[in-house]
Structure 1
Amino acid sequence: MKLAFATLFLVSLVLSSSIHAMAGDLSPQPAPSSCDDKCAVRCQRSGWKDRCLKYCGICCQKCHCVPSGPYVNKSECPCYRDLKNPKGKDKCP
C-alpha cells in the first residue's frame, strides 16, 4: 500500500510540474517584428540609433511593451522603466 501511494504521489508531482512548465511557455511573447516596429518609433530621434534599437529590442522581449513614442514617459511601461544595467542606470532607452 505504501509503495502504491508513493508511486501515485511521484507521478502526480511529475505531471503537475510538467503542466506548470507548459503553462509558463504559453505566456504571450511579442513578435520580433512587433518589437522592431515599436522600437523604431521609440528610437527615431536617437543620436545612437543602432544602440537604441538594440537595447530597446532586448527590453521589449523581456517586458512585452515599449513606451509609445520617442519622448513618452517610461511610466507607460513600468517593467521597461525599471530595468537597470549592472551600474544601476536605466537599461532601456
Structure 2
Amino acid sequence: MDSMTIIAVASIVTAGLTLGIGVLGPSLGEGRAVAKALTSLAQQPDSAQAITRTLFVGLAMIESTAIYCFVVAMILIFANPFWNHFLAASGG
C-alpha cells in the first residue's frame, strides 16, 4: 500500500469513528433531556412555556456537538489537510 492509500483509509476510518462516537453522546443526551422535560411537564403543567423554551435551547446546544462532529468528518473526507502536505512532500 502506498502512502496515499494509507492516508485515504485512515481518513475514512477516522471520519466514521468521529461520527459514530461523536453522535452517540448527543443522541443519548437529547433523549434524556426530553424524558426529563416530559416528566417536568407532567408534574407542573403551569410551567409548560418556560420548560419548553429551556428544553429547545438545551437541545440546540446538545445538537451543535453532533453537528461539529459531522463537520470534522466532512473535512477529513473532502478537505483533508494531510492531502496537501503529502502532495507537497512528494513533489506532486
Q: TM-score, normalised by structure 2?
A: 0.45
Which has more helix, going by share of residues?
2
